[in-house]
Structure 1
Amino acid sequence: MSSYTWCLYLLECKGGVMYAGITNRLAERFAAHLAGKGAKFTRANPPLRILGAKPFADRSEASRAEYAIKRLPRNRKLAFLAAAVPLCAAAA
């Protein structure tokens, strides 16, 4: 079992679009997105910054949250993360 907390993260990408994903190593995952080795979406829409991240107890919870946030309009996505810690512990 990983010692990292799983988290849902939201990226601001080129063109003002957002990308949501999950990881247990946020800093490494963001670096992969920046290097063009992340998701197909972020290869086409390079990430500019991490908008926020919200920790979850396990991958299953994070996956359910990812599914939910991807169905929200832009303003609700930001509100979803507004109360979250700035970054997950995995970024440290």
Structure 2
Amino acid sequence: MSVTKTLFSPASGPGPFDRSQAERQLALEYLAEAWNSAEEDGLESASLAHASLFAALATFVRLHGDEATADLVSELTDHIRNGEYNLDRVVQ
């Protein structure tokens, strides 16, 4: 698999990986490849983001239920405001 660019590379560079982190990174690389292909086909990033959020949340609901998913989403607010999803931030 070759990925020309990735939206999801960590801003601070790779750290030591355990198995689950390595698996999540590989999953992100697969998603980045699909994302790049969709953009090349003319799909807008905002549409891809909305579809990705829907698919992710629907999967969490199926795996963990409504309440656990709602709890997860409510915790995201602080993480987002703290810049944890900003790919351009520099971690010191």
Q: TM-score, normalising length from structure 1?
A: 0.27
Higher-strand-fraction structure: 1
Higher-helix-fraction structure: 2
